[in-house]
């Protein structure tokens, strides 16, 4: 990021930290303390947008002039939100519900900088290949998907479950980098060169 810009990632997600680190941006991570309970009847897009805003606002109020980046990702199948599984049994149930079908990954993305606020939602369609129960059980047993919405990690062993995606791959990991770059530019900040 430009010299003099303090960047704060409002997230405890290791995947989001890894993605920002890969961009070469110096940043601090601050875990926001918010209630992530969905509201009755809340649509998936509204939920991830609201939670991203709440995360950004809760950290920005303490961080002064820092560029605050917050995100919230949900996996959606037939308008049903698939959160993080409570146990491996629930993880298996989610994997079986996704096999051979297309679902959506939505990420609410919120930036705060010098009293400016930008909010967006990125959408990616992911198709799982058909799986038999043995393959689904083997993946669920790895535990890789336990702390991830939808019970899988596209950047890990879960990549073997996915036959195609339409949209930003990094959105499925948890931080839509193309959208993030556009929003940073919209705030008037220069992006660092990824080649130096």
Which residues are part of the catalytic machinery? 72
Q: 19-27: long-range contacts at Cβ-Cβ below 8 A with a sequence spacing of 24 or more?
A: 19/170, 19/173, 19/174, 19/175, 19/177, 20/69, 20/175, 23/177, 23/192, 23/194, 24/192, 24/194, 25/1, 25/192, 26/1, 27/1, 27/69
Which residue, among 137, 127, 133, has the nearest Cα to 100 in the 3D structure?
127
Nearest-angstrom CA–CA distance, 185 and 178: 11
């Amino acid at each position: 990021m430009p010299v003099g810009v303090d960047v704060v990632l409002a997230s405890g997600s290791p995947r989001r930290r890894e993605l920002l680190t890969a961009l070469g941006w110096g940043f601090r991570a601050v875990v926001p303390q918010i209630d992530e309970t969905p509201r009755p009847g809340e649509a998936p897009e509204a939920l991830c947008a609201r939670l991203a805003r709440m995360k950004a606002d809760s950290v920005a109020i303490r961080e002064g002039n820092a560029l605050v980046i917050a995100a919230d990702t949900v996996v959606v199948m037939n308008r049903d939100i698939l959160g993080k599984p409570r146990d491996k049994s629930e993880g298996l149930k989610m994997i079986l519900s996704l096999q051979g079908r297309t679902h959506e990954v939505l990420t609410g993305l919120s930036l705060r900088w010098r009293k400016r606020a930008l909010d967006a939602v990125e959408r990616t369609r992911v198709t799982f290949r058909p799986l038999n129960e043995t393959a689904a059980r083997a993946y669920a047993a790895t535990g890789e998907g336990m702390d991830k919405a939808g019970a899988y990690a596209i950047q890990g062993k879960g990549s073997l479950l996915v036959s195609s995606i339409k949209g930003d791959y990094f959105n499925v990991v948890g931080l839509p980098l193309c959208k993030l770059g556009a929003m940073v530019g919209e705030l008037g900040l220069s992006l660092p060169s990824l080649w130096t």
